[in-house]
Amino acid sequence: MSEISTVRAAPPPRQRGRGRSWCRLATRRRLFASVTQPRMLGPARTQGDEAPVARDEKLDLLYRIPLFASLDKHKIARVGELTEEVEVPAGKVLIRQGDAGGDLMVLVSGQVAIERDGVRVTTLGPGDFFGEISLIDGRPRTATVTTETASRLLVVSHREFHALMDQIPEVAAQILHALADRVRKLDPRETH
């Protein structure tokens, strides 16, 4: 069995023909090769397949994430179409400093450590997101991100990230606000 087939079986019928190249998506997500299969929205599957996440459950999940909390139901539904949910074990490197950027990741549950040049910078928890800097500026990843606990993530690929930024300006504004906040925290003179 190839690495690709261990990451993702064929997409559910609802997802076929939607413009996503599932093989390419799985190949690019080599970091998820040892994780459980992503939980996808879709119609009931045949016996033996993992049960799909209910649409309402995913939408409720998205509403609980600060990045998406202010969106109306139509925009939340669009975000749901652009994200893939994955579960990752503790100790998995999600992003490696210096690598090319490919995905934005939103932490639903669990905890990740952020390191720059081998030095721990911070820890992120549920509701936090990472990976956006490389997607915005096209340069290599600025930090290494490793799961400290088993974690559940929403992953937005490069193409979907730019669609999200173009189609839902509220998300773009939230990401810019978070980036500005991160820059302020880097300035030792900043007191608020």
Q: What is the pLDDT of residues 11-70, one digit of tens each?
A: 444 443 444 433 334 334 444 443 433 443 333 333 344 444 556 778 888 888 888 888
Annotate the chain with DSSP letters as a single string. --HHHHH--SPPGGGTTSS--HHHHHHHTGGGTTSEEEE---SPPPTTSPPPPPHHHHHHHHHTSTTTTT--HHHHHHHHHH-EEEEE-TT-EEE-TTSPP-EEEEEEES-EEEEETTEEEEEE-TT-EE-HHHHHH-SPPSSEEEESS-EEEEEEEHHHHHHHHHH-HHHHHHHHHHHHHHHHHH-TT---
Q: Which residue has the tokens 């925290």?
A: 185
Q: What is the CATH number of the domain that holds 136?
A: 2.60.120.10
Asked if residue 66 is part of any domain, the answer here is yes
Strand pairing partners for 144? 115
Asked if residue 23 is part of any domain, the answer here is no
pLDDT score of 144 more than 60: yes
Q: Give the pLDDT band (50/70/90) at residue 5.
A: very low
What pLDDT score was predicted for residue 113?
A: 97
Q: Are strands 93-95 and 119-124 parallel, antiparallel or unpaired?
A: unpaired
What pLDDT score was predicted for residue 124?
A: 95
pLDDT score of 1 more than 80: no
pLDDT score of 92 more than 70: yes
Asked if residue 192 is part of any domain, the answer here is no
Asked if residue 29 is part of any domain, the answer here is no
What pLDDT score was predicted for residue 188?
A: 66
- In angstroms, the CA 95 to CA 78 distance is 25
Please tell me the least confidently modeled range out of 71-75, 87-91, 107-111, 148-152.
71-75
What pLDDT score was predicted for residue 192?
A: 53
Q: Give the pLDDT band (50/70/90) at residue 187.
A: low
Asked if residue 97 is part of any domain, the answer here is yes
When the pLDDT of each residue in the chain is averaged and rounded to a whole number, the result is 75
Asked if residue 88 is part of any domain, the answer here is yes
Asked if residue 191 is part of any domain, the answer here is no
What pLDDT score was predicted for residue 175?
A: 87
pLDDT score of 78 more than 70: yes
What pLDDT score was predicted for residue 18?
A: 42
Mean pLDDT of 170-185: 85
Comparison of pLDDT for 99 and 45, the residue scoring more: 99
Task: Please give the residue range of the domain that contains residue 124.
Answer: 55-186
What pLDDT score was predicted for residue 185?
A: 78
pLDDT score of 111 more than 90: yes
Q: Which of 133, 50, 52 is nearest to 95 (CA)?
A: 133
Asked if residue 34 is part of any domain, the answer here is no
Number of structural domains, the chain? 1
